Each structure stands twice: as structure tokens, then as C-alpha cells.
């Protein structure tokens, strides 16, 4: 009987669903055998209590019988009396304890009830979040909500084995107060890890090993930004990342005004607003993952580690991407720090450094190489780059800018200017006025405006990358008009790239325009005299068509990028409540210009007002490839013979249900950082095998380059 008292626990070590099923089956079996076991449902009790109930008071312990030996009739009668007595005592104990015997629910009903409860809870939380968002100043209610969520176990209301454990844990961590503190620099997060490929294969087959020092330079919005402010609304976020990690999402949802105050730069200075201090996170984890599970540099770091790299010979040079490059040095001494880091690495190891950049990081590096040579910058002299840098590896670089930057600044329509994970929140919880104010304050964003003007991007007669359509195919609109007005609501004609940049100067307020003109130039130099006269002008150091590559004949520039993904190339616009061009200047209020999202079914390459072209999903092919395939192979822009290697990779993702990031064959703008072949080339370069990496073309970039009239 002691053994039987513990039996109803189920005894199955499988999943929770199987345990519930077994408990139901056990209960049913016990009901059918009640005459033998004394009831349909048992209450678990200590073994000593069960034994006391099973053994009549004052009786002698029963004598075990030898297996196969039949009991005597008297022994059977005695045992039956003992069993009946035990059943009677169990029933009396049930009455004293108030035990109610209830038939178990069917498994299907249990599942439906649990989903119903889960729906009620999440629906209530969504409604509560909406109320708090509408009035985020009610901090007392927000604190109560945080307290409730911090103690709430979401796992307990969801059907087991229906969702992955790590996903449910991420949701719980995202909503709980404790995860705010968990985003600090000292916390640890269990990120999902890859399979360390292709490094493991290459180490075995090609005997790759670390040779050169490596510095990773991320792109725009990749680096985490953490708060160092100690006043007013900043205090709860001290040393928390307001860009990147779950703190960002919670701040936008529950404390939007405070988040916007931190993310905007001062309109007058282009630096921190008074009382606000936001700084780039430091170390490899500053840009390895944007949020739990969403890798950026994580896979590259894993592969480099297989070759033997660690934090002593591999670094990530994170920066505050909101700032102009001029202000990066003025406020953070970013380029001075980078110069010292490279010099120390050469002295300690005797090896040059390989700079691996992504997206906007390629422009940061271009600026750095001109800054370090200039007497008005790092004053390293003409030979510094050749003596210290082995190679520059541009992954999805943006040498000639990105057209979608123009739409972000013109009308506050960011599309995918930010990370896809952040895109949803910004698009649904901030209006165009708020987005435009934030974007226009970021002087680093204006560095990504398209460069080269009509010479690169075309005019009203056509563009170098225009695709002609045959008689049977739908019409293909030309890319030569960067901004089109065709609804009759505007006084403006269609705009070429030169016109569109001039239009932007009419839209920006006087402070934003002043900072833009202080920091950048977007044209084309065609003579050596122009190059010489602007050699120390920091405004041209981000424009490869207005400065020359450094005196580094021993250095190689590798351009690795993807193509074959639909990419924003031009736009249809309309203007609201505009009687004259002067109405476009917006000191305040919602931007008058906006993308015209009307359907144009007769145009094959137009969707909701966006004219799509060839590229990596973010950067058009002209910007990705022209300088690498043509521009930097001309003496005017590369007078010292820096070796240029261009390698293109067709975007070949897996189906989303197999890998939401596209898998090892994806080469779109962000996921190229996990592309198998791209990573293999990077590993060969840092291992001293860069001479084996040669040109590889698979797009029409060479044909497009021939149509660009630049000497």
C-alpha cells in the first residue's frame, strides 16, 4: 500500500503533454480497479503514513512467501481484512481532509483552456500597454506594470512543447523588468551560436591561421548606444542601451518622449543636447548582436575565433553613428583612438592590420585614411597607411551613398533605414514629423546621401542602370528622375539627383542645412588641380569622387557585396497643402512632401511609390560596385596603384520557413555578414592569403560603368 500511495504521480519523464495524458490514463485505470485499490483518486502522502494505514494496529508484519508458493486460505482472509481496514481508514482520512474526487479533464479541453487563459493575459497586456503609451507620464502605473511583469511566469500559461523554449524565454525577458538591468555591459546573454563555418572547414583543408591584426568597423545603426546621463528621465536607463537590446523597445513603447530626447542631437551644435549623454558601447559585444538572437557581427567573430583570434588581436571599433565624422573626432577622439590602436598592434605583433568594414563603415574608413595622412588630422604623413594597413575589406560598402537616405530626410519615411527589427516599432509608434525631426538631427546620416550627382545617377533622359523592357513586358520607368511628381498636386517638376539634393536644401531648416554644408560635399572632381586644392578639406574625405586613395601601393581594397535583391532606387512623391516652393521649408510640423503610394500596375518596377532597381536590398548596385569595378581603377582616383579586387555574390536565400535570415547563401545588405563564401574570403585575407582572392563579377556593373561619363 505504501507503494500504491505514491503511484498517481504518473511515472513518465517525457514532455509535459505526455505527463498529463499519463495522469489521465492512470486515473481512469484506478477508477476501473477501485475494488482492488480502494478509490478512483489517491492523495499523495508520506510513505510512513501510508504504511501505518496499511498495517493494522498491533498486528504482526506479514511473512513473505517464496515465489511460486501458494498462500494458505487463512493468509488470504487475513490479507483481505487488512486491505479492507486500510481502505476504510483512507476514506475516513479523505473526509477529514476534505478531499474532493474529481474526474480528470480531457487533454483537448486542458489545451483549449490554457490557450484561452494565454489569450486573455496577452490581450490584457496589449491593452494596458496601449493605455500607458497614450499617457506615458503616468510613471506610477508603469512601475506597477513592471513589477507585475517581473514576477509573472509566462511559461506557466502556455501549452508545453508548442513553442520553442528559447523563444518563450526571450518574450518573458523582453517584458520583465529584470531584463532592463540585464542589458548592461556587465551582463551575460545566452545568444544562439552558429556552427563556426566555414572556418572549421578552411582550417582543416587550407590550413588557415591568424596572421594579421583585425579591426571590425560596423555600419550605421549597428553599434549599441548606451546612456551615461544622470538627470531627470535618464536615471532609469543609466548605462542601459537605448539603441540595441530590449531596453530600446521598452523605452519606445513606455517612455517615448525620453527616448526621443536621448536619440536626437542638438540642432545648433550637432552634439549631445544639454543634460543628455549617449555613447557608443565598447568591446566586441557592441555590435555582435542587435538583440538576442539577431546577429550582426556575431558569426564573423565566431569564425575568426576558430583561426585563433581573441580580444588581444581582434577588436570592434564601435562609434556613435549619429554624429558626423568631423564630430566623431571632436567629441569622442574616435580616429585618434583608432590610429593609436593600429600603431600599438604593429609594435606588439610586427603585423599590419586588416580593416573589415560593413556598410557605412566603408565611408568611415575612407575618411580615416585621409584624416590620418593630413596635417589637419592625424598628421601621420603620406606613408602611414602603407606602413600600417594590410588590407581594407568592404562588406556591402556604400562608397556612393544610398538613395533611401534622401527619402528619410525629405519626408521622414525611413523604410529600412534602420534595422528591420527596429523598423516596425518606429514605423508604428512614431509619426512622420517625429521621425523627420530625429533623422534630420543625425549629422552622420547625411554622409549617406548619394554622391556623384547626375554623372552617376542619370538625368531625365535616362540612367546608367536603366533596364529596357520589350514590347510584351510591362513598362519599366527610368531611374533618371530620382523624385517624380505625376499627380498634379505639386508645383515641382520631376527631379534628377542634383535637383533632389537641391530640393532637400529647401526642406531642411537653417540649422540642419548649415551642418550639412559644414560636413559634406557630394559632387565630382575631374582634374588633379581640384583634388590638390581640396586635399585637406574634410568635407570631401567621405566622397571617393572628390579625393584620391592614399599613397599605399602595398595595400589591397577588397569590395565584397551581394546583388539580385530588390532595392529602392527612386521615388514618386506628392506634396500636401503646398501653394509655393517656399512652403516646403519646415521649421516645424509634418513634412509637406511624402511618398505617393498609389498603385501603378502598368509599371513593372514600381510598388507603392518606390521605383525598385538592382542591389543588395538596401544599397543600389551603382553605389556598391562602380568605384570598385571602375572608378578606383582610374589614375585620377587611384594615383598610387592600390590593388582593387571586386567580388560579387548573387543573393540566394533559403525559404523563410527554413531560415528567416536566408541561410549561408543570403547576400543581402545585413545577412551578407553570415554568407558562407564571403566569410571564407575574409578569413583568407586576414590569414595572409589575400593574393589568392581575385575579381568575380556576376552582375551588369561593368556595362553600367561604361555608361558613366567620368574620366
Q: Give the model's pLDDT for residue 124.
A: 63
β-partners of residue 226 are 241, 279
pLDDT (mean) for 174-180 = 42
Q: Which of 87-96, 106-115, 571-580, 635-644 has the highest mean pLDDT?
A: 635-644
**Residue 660 pLDDT grade (very low, low, confident, very high; cuts 50, 70, 90):** confident
**Percentage of residues of the chain with pLDDT beyond 70:** 67
**Residue 23 pLDDT grade (very low, low, confident, very high; cuts 50, 70, 90):** very low
More confident residue, 104 or 640: 640
Interval 536-581: pLDDT, tens: 999 999 999 999 999 999 999 999 999 999 999 999 998 876 655 6
pLDDT (mean) for 7-27 = 46
Catalytic residue among 27, 234, 359, 623: 359
Q: What is the dihedral of CA 152, 153, 156, 158, to 10 degrees?
A: 90
- Check if the beta carbon of residue 649 is closer than 8 Å to that of residue 560: yes
**Residue 47 pLDDT grade (very low, low, confident, very high; cuts 50, 70, 90):** very low
Q: Give the model's pLDDT for residue 106.
A: 52
Q: In 3D, which of 410, 708, 695 has the Cα closest to residue 573? A: 410
More confident residue, 24 or 645: 645
The percent of the chain in helix, strand and coil, each rounded to the nearest 5, is 45, 10, 45
Catalytic residue among 146, 388, 612, 669: 669
Catalytic residue at 616? Answer: yes
pLDDT (mean) for 440-462 = 96
Query: By mean pLDDT, which of 213-217, 355-359, 657-661, 673-677 is the weakest?
Result: 657-661
What is the C-alpha to C-alpha distance for residues 445 and 226, in angstroms, rounded to an integer?
A: 19
Interval 374-422: pLDDT, tens: 999 999 999 999 999 999 999 999 999 999 999 999 998 865 544 455 5
Here the cell at position 537 is 578639406
What stretches of 180-338 adopt beta strand conformation (E)? 213-217, 225-227, 241-243, 278-280, 289-291, 294-295, 314-316
HSE toward the beta carbon, residue 309, CA cutoff 13 A: 28
Catalytic residue at 359? Answer: yes
Beta strands 556-563 and 643-650: pairing type? parallel
- Check if the beta carbon of residue 261 is closer than 8 Å to that of residue 276: yes
Q: Give the model's pLDDT for residue 81.
A: 65
Residue 448 has pLDDT above 90, yes or no: yes
pLDDT (mean) for 633-642 = 98
Q: Give the model's pLDDT for residue 102.
A: 44
Interval 189-228: pLDDT, tens: 333 345 899 999 999 999 999 999 999 999 998 999 999 9
Q: Which of 21-25, 484-488, 594-598 has the highest mean pLDDT?
A: 594-598
Q: Give the model's pLDDT for residue 486.
A: 81
Measured at the CA of 470, the angle between CA 466 and CA 473, to 5 degrees, comes to 100
Catalytic residue among 596, 616, 668, 681: 616
Q: What is the 3 state secondary structure string of 137-183?
A: CCHHHHHHHHHHHHHCCHHHHCCCCCCCHHHHHHHHHHHCCHHHHCC
Q: Give the model's pLDDT for residue 152.
A: 45
What are the Cα distances from residue 590, in Å, to 257, 413, 437? Answer: 17, 11, 9
Q: Give the model's pLDDT for residue 86.
A: 58
Q: Give the model's pLDDT for residue 659.
A: 87
Amino acid at each position: 500500500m505504501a507503494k500504491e500511495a505514491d503511484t498517481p504521480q504518473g511515472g513518465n519523464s517525457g514532455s509535459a503533454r505526455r505527463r498529463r495524458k499519463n495522469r489521465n490514463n492512470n486515473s481512469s485505470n484506478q477508477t476501473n480497479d477501485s475494488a482492488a485499490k480502494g478509490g478512483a483518486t489517491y492523495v499523495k502522502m508520506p510513505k510512513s503514513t501510508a504504511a501505518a494505514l496499511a498495517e493494522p494496529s498491533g498486528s504482526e508484519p506479514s511473512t513473505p512467501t517464496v515465489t511460486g508458493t501458494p498462500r494458505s486460505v487463512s493468509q488470504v482472509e487475513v490479507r483481505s481484512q487488512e486491505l479492507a481496514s486500510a481502505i476504510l481508514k483512507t476514506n475516513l482520512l479523505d473526509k477529514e481532509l476534505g478531499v474532493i474526487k474529481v474526474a480528470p479533464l480531457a487533454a483537448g479541453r486542458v489545451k483549449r483552456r490554457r490557450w484561452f487563459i494565454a489569450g486573455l493575459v496577452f490581450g490584457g497586456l496589449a491593452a494596458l500597454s496601449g493605455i500607458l503609451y497614450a499617457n506615458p507620464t503616468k510613471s506610477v502605473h508603469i512601475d506597477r506594470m513592471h513589477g507585475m511583469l517581473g514576477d509573472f511566469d509566462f511559461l506557466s500559461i502556455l501549452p508545453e512543447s508548442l513553442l520553442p523554449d528559447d523563444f518563450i524565454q526571450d518574450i518573458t525577458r523582453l517584458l520583465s523588468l529584470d531584463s532592463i538591468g540585464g542589458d548592461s555591459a556587465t551582463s551575460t546573454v545566452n545568444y544562439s551560436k552558429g556552427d563556426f563555418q566555414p572556418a572549421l572547414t578552411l582550417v582543416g583543408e587550407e590550413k588557415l591561421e591568424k596572421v594579421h591584426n583585425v579591426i571590425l568597423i560596423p555600419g550605421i545603426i549597428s553599434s549599441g548606444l548606451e546612456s551615461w546621463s544622470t538627470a531627470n528621465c535618464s536615471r532609469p536607463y543609466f548605462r542601459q542601451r537605448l539603441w540595441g537590446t530590449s531596453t530600446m523597445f521598452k523605452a519606445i513603447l513606455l517612455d517615448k518622449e525620453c527616448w526621443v530626447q536621448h536619440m536626437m542631437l542638438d540642432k545648433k551644435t550637432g552634439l549631445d543636447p544639454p543634460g543628455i549623454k549617449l555613447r557608443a558601447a565598447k568591446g566586441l559585444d557592441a555590435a555582435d548582436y542587435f538583440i538576442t538572437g539577431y546577429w550582426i557581427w556575431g558569426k564573423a567573430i565566431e569564425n575568426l575565433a576558430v583561426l585563433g583570434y581573441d580580444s588581444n588581436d581582434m577588436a570592434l571599433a564601435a562609434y556613435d553613428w549619429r554624429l558626423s565624422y568631423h564630430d566623431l573626432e571632436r567629441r569622442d577622439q574616435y580616429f585618434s583612438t583608432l590610429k593609436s590602436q593600429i600603431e600599438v598592434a604593429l609594435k606588439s605583433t610586427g603585423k599590419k592590420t586588416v580593416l573589415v568594414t560593413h556598410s557605412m563603415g566603408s565611408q568611415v574608413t575612407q575618411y580615416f585614411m585621409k584624416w590620418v595622412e593630413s596635417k589637419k588630422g592625424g598628421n601621420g604623413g603620406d606613408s602611414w597607411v602603407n606602413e600600417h594597413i594590410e588590407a581594407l575589406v568592404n562588406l556591402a560598402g556604400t562608397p556612393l551613398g544610398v538613395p533611401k537616405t534622401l527619402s528619410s530626410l525629405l519626408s521622414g519615411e525611413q523604410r529600412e533605414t534602420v534595422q528591420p527589427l527596429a523598423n516596425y516599432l518606429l514605423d508604428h509608434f512614431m509619426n512622420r514629423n517625429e521621425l523627420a525631426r530625429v533623422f534630420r538631427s543625425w549629422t552622420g546620416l547625411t554622409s549617406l546621401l548619394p554622391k556623384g550627382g547626375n554623372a552617376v545617377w542619370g538625368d531625365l533622359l535616362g540612367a546608367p542602370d536603366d533596364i529596357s523592357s520589350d514590347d510584351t513586358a510591362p513598362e519599366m520607368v527610368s531611374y533618371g528622375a530620382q523624385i517624380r511628381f505625376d499627380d498634379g498636386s505639386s508645383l515641382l517638376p520631376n527631379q534628377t539627383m542634383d535637383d533632389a539634393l537641391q530640393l532637400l536644401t529647401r526642406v531642411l531648416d537653417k540649422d540642419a542645412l548649415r551642418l550639412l554644408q559644414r560636413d559634406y560635399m557630394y559632387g565630382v572632381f575631374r582634374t588633379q588641380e581640384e583634388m590638390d586644392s581640396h586635399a585637406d578639406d574634410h568635407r570631401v574625405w567621405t566622397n571617393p569622387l572628390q579625393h584620391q586613395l592614399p599613397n599605399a601601393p602595398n595595400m589591397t581594397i577588397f569590395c565584397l557585396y551581394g546583388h539580385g535583391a530588390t532595392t529602392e532606387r527612386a521615388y514618386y512623391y506628392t506634396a500636401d497643402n503646398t501653394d509655393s516652393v517656399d512652403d516646403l521649408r519646415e521649421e516645424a510640423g509634418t513634412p509637406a512632401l511624402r511618398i505617393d503610394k498609389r498603385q501603378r500596375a502598368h509599371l513593372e518596377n514600381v510598388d507603392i511609390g518606390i521605383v525598385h532597381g538592382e542591389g543588395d536590398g538596401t544599397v543600389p548596385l551603382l553605389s556598391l560596385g562602380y568605384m570598385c569595378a571602375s572608378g578606383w581603377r582610374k589614375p585620377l582616383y587611384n594615383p598610387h596603384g592600390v590593388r582593387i579586387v571586386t567580388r560579387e555574390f548573387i543573393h540566394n536565400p533559403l525559404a523563410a520557413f527554413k531560415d528567416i535570415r536566408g541561410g549561408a547563401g543570403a547576400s543581402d545588405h545585413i545577412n551578407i555578414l553570415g554568407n558562407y563564401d564571403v566569410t571564407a574570403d575574409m578569413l583568407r585575407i586576414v590569414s595572409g592569403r589575400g593574393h589568392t582572392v581575385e575579381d568575380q563579377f556576376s552582375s551588369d556593373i561593368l556595362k553600367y560603368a561604361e555608361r558613366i561619363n567620368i574620366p
